[in-house]
Structure 1
Amino acid sequence: MEYFKSEVMEMCHREGLYQIDLLNGSKERITEREYWAAKKGQLALDKENADREAAGQTTKPTKFETDKAKLRRTIRQALSQATSFDEFSSLLLREGVTVKESRGRLSYLTPDRTKPITARKLGDDFDKAAVLALLTQNTRRAAEQTTAIPEYPHTQKERLREEKAAKTTPADNTLQRMVDREAKRAEGKGVGYDRWAAKHNLKQMAATVTAYQQYGFSSPEELDEACSASYTAMQESLAELKQVEKTLNGKKELQRQVLAYSKTRPVRDGLKQQKNAKAKAAYRQKHESDFIIADAAARYFKENGISKLPGYKALQAEIESLIQEKNSGYNDYRAKREEYRRLQTVKGNIDQILHRERKPVKRQEQER
């Protein structure tokens, strides 16, 4: 297959035909239709600018862009500023572009379209893997820029000493679950593993007692109550986050329906201008696809009790506000989830130290 691809590319090159790279992925996947549309658009723009220049008028931009080219430029601008996928989605929404994910693939919906454009049709730079990789790179670059700059330049020896200390210094979250050595020996673990487990358990005992004292517990029962309260707080935070996500999805769907309905306004106005029923029926049949979209949007508005359509800017501002609320809600949920897990680790280790019978641990319904 690779041989045939290279032969086709060689034939196209020899005949001077437009071609795409069949052997490697294309960063910007430009189809033949888009290529000729750009060519014709550029010729028309050059002709119009020449006429304007001859008439002494201001010329338009000298480079013609197709709709896909404009979309690529908008996505790249958002990617150059965003450090997370939610921020990336918010920046695109400000430009009227909605990004969706389905089955691990991204698609982009512009205000003038009812059907989204898949990342596969735009190029490899716009698929999910490339977008997430670039966002991770932006996050890492932002973190590097915020690190403190040393007041005086270090020598090579001091720099190596600091790097070694950073590698050997344990992380803040060193609290881990203790190992059940008897169960591991019953599974057939060797002497080497048992020695490691003994050292590991001693370290975790010390870390557990320190955490137990930092929390200020006076009895294991207080620890059990704290675990239950932490689990309840985590579930309440998760319920609030789900409600915000549900509201956000509803607003996005409303925005999509409003855009689709507003796009069919010229066709709906044309129907009112028809004089008799026969002309209206013929006009409606001619523009059947537009009326299907308009009727679907009207049903959506009626089912949701929407009598007055919201303005685009107000709806856009509301969506951005909900995205910020969702981000802060997720951060709150993640902090409470980590606190619950830490308390569960302390509880499990304390039970093992005191040889208490462990109670069944509540499972999180949905880990995010």
Structure 2
Amino acid sequence: MATLKHIASKNSDYTAIEAYLVYQHDAFTGKQLLDEQSKPKLRDSYLLDTLECGDFSFATACLLANRKYGKNTQHGDIKSHQYIISFDPRDAADNGLTMEKAQALGLKFCEENFPGHPAIVCTHPDGHNHSGNIHVHIVIGSIRTREVERKPYMQKPRDWREGMKHSSTAQTMRYLRVEVMELCEGAGLYQIDLINGSKERVSEAEYWARRRGQMKLDRENAALTAAGQPPKQKKFETVKDTLRKQISDVLNNATSFEDFSDKLMQQYGITVKESRGQLSYLPSGRTKFIRAKHLGDKFEKELVLATLQENAERKRAVQPKPNRIGKLVDIQAKLKQGKGIGYERWAKKHNLKAMAQTLILLEEKGLTDEAALNQRIAELETKYHDSLAVVKDLEGRMKANKELRYHVAAYTSTKGIVQQFNTAKRPAAFEEQHRAELTAYRAAAAYFKANNITKLPSPKKLEAEYAQLASEKAKFYEQYKEAKEELLKLKTVKQNVASFFREEEQTQQER
């Protein structure tokens, strides 16, 4: 689960970048930590290499490039770019990721994606929050010192010509995220979809606001504890954290957008509005709306409407629960545990009602004989397990059918793109432009090969087969549900009868 983060720096002191990577710094103030002799403290562990710097240090190589091309002379100029690849903490134990392997991956990533730029590649074994995630810092000077081969994602001459400055555009970041995902896949590491966002999106500023707020809260709680007072709050929450929690609370219960909007206002004083197809939220006490995209994907219009529709369908599908047979309570055991006379009165009434339900059911089913009751339970258990096995088998076949239909549709819809790719004059540029379609086609072809499918089945035939399987599943699921419901009732009845006669026997012995 590697993540990619970009930081642009306007600091003209390039040695400060090297110092940050090599020496220990305070996570909040950014100041260097000093030892007893007032000297900077080296980090406990790190690996560092430079690229495209010749015989010079990174700082000197960047300053020479600035002077040669007459750039980065203004205070507001971006002097360097830093890209941080953070790997999943589980990669070390599960996938054998070491600092050396991470450093090698970082060097490869830098060589392939930032050629011509003076660069530092430095690997650290842990992050700010001590989660154990190995991560790689890739810092590049903003000026390219030699012309490089044009890559498919490069659109303007500044992206490959000598003396031009690196620009981290949205398209560049998208390309680099794909590269990180492919890097992890090739190395056998955990990965996530870096293209389609996350359910909750936390910015760099919010992350540090959380850290600072939690530290302050911990100090206040320590003072309260020392004074003998219990802390009121242990976990710090930002305004966005609270807003996410409140919106989620309402979203889980609302069934329409009007209902969602009304409940947000009534319960939490939050105003929600839609503008240009995007949702924004205004918490009580603020004057500026917070866009849904700054909170996370689950709060954006498309997913909010989908959740509301699911809630409405689920509410319509809810059926009243069938009458259940109550279990007899062991009153004497409960009294020995310390239950009072009030509980005893309630338990006696409960047992009378449960035993009455038990006798009525036995009369209705004609199972007043113990042998007949046991035989019926055995029959229901067989029916229950057989129906469940058939349902599971049908579900597996439906899943395989659905997967096959998906790959057939993907293969059919992208076949023309593949034919164009095979005759393209610039295959690399064409593949970058149609990467999603080509990936879907290749995945479908690999699926057909793995399953020995040489002739594509008809989509209509697959749809008809899926409908037939769904119909059979519904029939057997109904049998399974009926058997389960009756089985639970009869087992409860059997237990109640046994408990009743056991209690009668104990009462007679006591007499």
Q: Which residue of structure 2 lines up, in the alignment, with residue 326 of structure 1? A: 473
Q: Which moved more, 1:340-349 or 1:206-215?
A: 206-215
- Residues 106-131 of structure 1 show CA distances to partners (whole Å, capped at 9, x for unaligned) of xxxxxxxxxxx98945152212xx12
- Residues 224-282 of structure 1 show CA distances to partners (whole Å, capped at 9, x for unaligned) of 232232122111111111111111111111111112111211122235557xxx98788
Is 1:134 the counterpart of 2:312 in the alignment? yes
Q: Which moved more, 1:23-32 or 1:251-260?
A: 23-32
Deviation at 1:194, TM superposition (A): 0.9
Name the amino acid aligned to 2:465: E
Deviation at 1:217, TM superposition (A): 2.8
CA contact (8 A) 2:278 2:300 kept: no
2:322 and 2:430 mapped to 1: Cα distance? 71
Q: How does 1:141-152 map to 2 (within 5 A)?
A: none
Q: Which of these two proteins has the greater Rg computed from alpha carbons?
A: 2
CA contact (8 A) 2:325 2:357 kept: yes
1:239 and 1:28 mapped to 2: Cα distance? 51
2:499 and 2:277 mapped to 1: Cα distance? 63
Q: Which residue of structure 1 lines up, in the alignment, with residue 323 of structure 2? A: 173
Q: Which residue of structure 2 lines up, in the alignment, with residue 267 of structure 1? A: 417
Q: Which residue of structure 1 lines up, in the alignment, with residue 462 of structure 2? A: 315
CA contact (8 A) 2:405 2:462 kept: yes
2:337 and 2:488 mapped to 1: Cα distance? 27
Q: Which residue of structure 2 lines up, in the alignment, with residue 256 of structure 1? A: 406
CA contact (8 A) 1:27 1:124 kept: no
Alpha carbons of structure 1 residues 295 and 315: separation in structure 2 relative to 1, 3 Å: same
1:288 and 1:181 mapped to 2: Cα distance? 70
CA contact (8 A) 1:260 1:297 kept: yes
Note the residue ranges of structure 2 that are not aligned, 5 or more in a row: 1-238, 244-260, 265-269, 280-296, 504-511
CA contact (8 A) 2:298 2:304 kept: no
2:373 and 2:274 mapped to 1: Cα distance? 55
SS at structure 1 position matched to 2:462? helix
- Residues 176-213 of structure 1 show CA distances to partners (whole Å, capped at 9, x for unaligned) of 11111111111211112112211222222222122223
- Residues 7-66 of structure 1 show CA distances to partners (whole Å, capped at 9, x for unaligned) of xxxxxxxxxxxxxx995456798259xxxxxxxxxxxxxxxxxxxxxxxxxxxxxxxxxx
Q: How does 1:79-118 map to 2 (within 5 A)?
A: none
Q: Which runs of 4+ in 1 moved over 6 A?
A: 278-286
CA contact (8 A) 1:28 1:125 kept: no
More helix by share: 1
SS at structure 1 position matched to 2:311? helix
CA contact (8 A) 1:231 1:340 kept: yes
CA contact (8 A) 1:30 1:122 kept: no
Q: Which residue of structure 1 lines up, in the alignment, with residue 168 of structure 2? A: none
Q: Which residue of structure 1 lines up, in the alignment, with residue 111 of structure 2? A: none
2:460 and 2:299 mapped to 1: Cα distance? 26
Alpha carbons of structure 1 residues 341 and 305: separation in structure 2 relative to 1, 3 Å: same
Deviation at 1:308, TM superposition (A): 1.7
More strand by share: 2
2:353 and 2:432 mapped to 1: Cα distance? 78
Q: Which moved more, 1:211-220 or 1:297-306?
A: 211-220
1:197 and 1:217 mapped to 2: Cα distance? 26
Note the residue ranges of structure 1 that are not aligned, 5 or more in a row: 6-20, 33-116, 144-170, 357-368
Number of aligned positions between the proteins: 222
